[in-house]
A and B are shown apart, each in its own frame.
Chain A
């Protein structure tokens, strides 16, 4: 399914879907289910489509954009989240509070990762690692697999 076909789904329908998907993902998270990441990926899908049919200046449009980035990060797809964010942040009509919210999303993610890897964070190398992952994932001649590229 492409973004083009998403126009066949109404905003109300997507609102409903995303609400259910978020609820489902939160429950799976509570259960530490192996399906949680995929559930958040589903949330991100609905949020992206909502963003695609809403204006960045609308409340719903802004929320959907921030939600899409947050859900993508929560699903563990950092490179994709950064790509999405760069697209949304390039929209001049995106309100400042949404931009700040998006930055907070990334900061929360960094904090969460830093909590897991405090020694690495203390050395200030997490950003370096993120860059390495992006570079490694993009490398066509790569032999060794990395999960980030999956």
Chain B
């Protein structure tokens, strides 16, 4: 048994935390460990090792007192020990011998009695014999490979005995504060010359400088003078300093990245433990992987993926109060330890997370949890950054269902979703419709994260009828629209969602440099071959012309259109004088009723159609020219209309919205003869149609093959 005492001259250096983490790491890597709290005046090791609720009310103080008073020994030291639960397959063991039942009044009474006995009844032996007896009993009853002692700070008899009499190795911790360094220097010098038991080897001394910030030259010089072997630096992290947990932190969200000081401290601590207590490399690496996975997961649950990604800015993370580490669930004879358990607000476990190494079967672990407990969601962590989620919902007893969800459920998911592992667009839309509108954002985020079911996401969102939800979908998807291209989410939803929502968002966002402008630019470019850049400077040759391309605005009018069209009224119009696209909602509703179509689809077709008319007017060609006139200079408005209908059809086909396409076909099938003129060019190639459009736009003569078609148009209609 190697006894390692952790000592600091001053408190607040992270000593107890390091004892706990070292003990856990060693146990996880297959070693047998006993952690002993000899900080009797300020015990706290039990807090760092998971606040065990079951176990002993006895502790070190009781055992020391019993020995000194000659109490008849009718109990095992195991009665005073608490077994710290380890995950299955760890191979090691970890027992905690706490200081006692602190902070109960009984504990302080026992401590006072111990001090009294030590003062007044020396004949029975003193503290040296008592602590050595305790150490000998630990060796005899537990036979651990390591005894780790959390020693008292400052200059005390017990601190001196723990370090100079019990220990084979002393880990001295200090911050960079002058008083802490000076204290460690004095103690280290004393320990180097302290007498040892005849059977003991010379004392080994390690120094750790913790909470390192800024320049350290002076500190390092002092420590060099000590000549005390390896000095390790652990940098400062405010989160850990305030929460006093390495694996658990409750700081406000910050970005998690390579430069995250908490992560650096975590890795440095693991490195120090690994180097200081070398073991079987495979098992050490395994312990490191597990602790790293649990650390990252805890960060993710409590802090999110990090605002640097720009995702989930409004997400509500798990409260650290709802999470427990190393918690065992299951029956008395058949239990298993979760690395993290998430509780609902009543304290009932609703999700367990367990790390399963690469050589184990994650599905078997999930099957155990789902069959032996009532926890609805099981998450298996591994080396893969994406956790595997399993749900009991709708699963036969002997099977488990692996979810496609790649992130971890949040507390709200358990309220809003029947199955928190199901983040299919249908499930999320259902939640949004049932009063959780924020799930629209979740759907959009799924698309932005590159969900494989992108088409399903677009299709699902496009089916939204609720104007407010549709508006939110557009607003959220406006994020990152640059670079989305014609198949981007916003450019598709803008034309497919109810036009009331699209127009509202267009009015709200404006046009210069927004997703709306980008969407119109895409339509102009891809369909008409024109540039639409409101506000941009346009260079023609060496000159800059017309620095402000006219921007298109949108409006929905409930007023009746002034011009009636025989087929049932004018559904919308483009007003060249003001560059407005106006949709007439009543006319649209009426027309939809006549054709047994849905008004939203008729409105979308109208919106596309009138916007193309507008873009044909204000868009610039490759020479930077547009039409400055308020009117449209085609020889025939019918020819213009035919081409715009062609482009409208083409765009609807590209959107791959069956409802929209059916609406278009129905609407055009009922057109008056004057408006059917586009049908002969329906199957024209895009290049030919664009060439025809550009030629006419520039006033060029029609090619002979088109002239015949043009001549056949009902010009007088």
Contact = CB atoms under 8 A, between A and B. Distances in A.
B697 interface: no
A34 B116 contact: yes
Interface in A37-88: 37, 40, 73-77
A118 B120 contact: no
Interface in B116-136: 116, 118-130, 132-133, 136
Contact of B128 (A35, A73, A139, A146): A146
A141 B190 contact: yes
A148 interface: yes
A119 B137 contact: yes
B195 interface: yes
B41 interface: no
B70 interface: yes
B172 to A, nearest CB: 13
B196 interface: yes
Given A37-B123, A132-B197, A133-B126, A144 B132 contact: no
Given A116-B67, A120-B136, A143 B160 contact: yes
B186 interface: yes
Interface string B124-164: 11111110110011001000000000000001110111011
**Interface SS, A side:** helix
B544 interface: no
Contacts of A74: 123
14 contacts: A109-B123, A116-B68, A125-B136, A128-B198, A129-B128, A131-B198, A132-B165, A132-B196, A143-B186, A144-B161, A145-B160, A147-B122, A148-B122, A148-B126
A34 B121 CA distance: 7
A6 interface: no
B73 interface: yes
Contacts of B332: none
B195 A135 contact: yes
Residue in B123, B130, B163, B164 whose Cβ sees the most chain A Cβ within 10 Å? B123
B234 interface: no
Contacts of B137: 119
Interface string A126-140: 101101110110010
A99 to B, nearest CB: 22
B692 interface: no
A37 B190 contact: no
A143 B128 CA distance: 16
Given A73-B123, A76-B121, A145-B155, 11 more contacts: A116-B133, A119-B137, A128-B198, A129-B129, A131-B198, A132-B128, A133-B128, A143-B190, A144-B163, A146-B160, A148-B122
A36 interface: yes
Given A116-B67, A119-B140, A120-B129, A125 B197 contact: yes
Nearest to B122: A76
A128 B197 contact: yes
B199 interface: yes
Contact of B70 (A34, A109, A115): A115
B348 to A, nearest CB: 45
A123 interface: yes
Contact of B125 (A32, A117, A146): A117
B449 interface: no
A113 B128 CA distance: 12
A113 B199 CA distance: 20
A40 B156 CA distance: 27
| Range of interface residues on B (Cβ < 8 Å) | 35 or more
B193 A141 contact: yes
Interface of B: 67-68, 70, 73, 116, 118-130, 132-133, 136-137, 140, 155-157, 159-161, 163-165, 186-187, 190, 193-199
Contacts of A75: 122-123
Contacts of B159: 144
Contact of B156 (A34, A112, A145): A145
A112 B126 CA distance: 12
Contacts of A36: 120-121
B176 to A, nearest CB: 22
A34 to B, nearest CB: 4
Nearest to A123: B136
A119 B136 contact: yes
Contacts of A135: 195
A94 B121 CA distance: 31
A128 B159 CA distance: 20
B11 to A, nearest CB: 17
B520 to A, nearest CB: 80
B136 A139 contact: no
Given A34-B116, A76-B121, A126-B129, A147 B70 contact: no
Given A74-B123, A112-B124, A120 B133 contact: yes
A120 B132 contact: yes
Nearest to B133: A117
A117 B129 contact: yes
A117 B67 contact: yes
Contacts of B161: 144, 146
Given A36-B120, A128-B197, A147 B127 contact: yes
A73 B120 CA distance: 13
Contacts of B128: 129, 132-133, 146, 148
A34 B196 CA distance: 31
A135 B157 CA distance: 15
A109 B122 CA distance: 11
A128 B129 CA distance: 10
B133 A139 contact: no
Given A119-B136, A126-B129, A37 B121 contact: yes
Contacts of A142: 190, 194
B363 to A, nearest CB: 48
A129 B197 contact: yes
Contacts of B116: 34
